[in-house]
Amino acid sequence: MKSLDTAFQRLDEAVGQKQNYETKQIKSLFHGEEGRADMKATVALTEKARAPLVAAIRKARVSVTHSVKIEAVH
């Protein structure tokens, strides 16, 4: 059984990796020499590189069973 913390951390890391790539993709590649030379090819190539990052997010999304216990404080 996966803990909520572990599952959330894996998902958070996967999203972070994708966001880091997208920042490079947009700022450096789309707005850089590659994009100016051939935007259509740059988009196609970078989307192939981004696809596994999207898949990693889907894989990291898992159901987690957890319990919350509420106790009276005296």
- List the domain boundaries for the chain: 4-60
pLDDT in tens, 4-59: 888 899 999 999 999 999 999 999 999 999 999 999 999 999 999 999 999 999 99
3-state helix vs strand vs coil in the chain, percent to 5: 75, 0, 25
Decide: pTM greater than 0.75: yes
Rounded CA-CA distance 64/2 in Å is 6
Q: Does pLDDT of 1 surpass 60? A: no
Which three-class secondary structure state does DSSP give residue 8?
helix
State the pLDDT confidence band at 2, using cuts at 50, 70 and 90: low
Rounded CA-CA distance 66/38 in Å is 50
30: CB partners within 8 A, 6+ apart: 39, 42, 43, 46
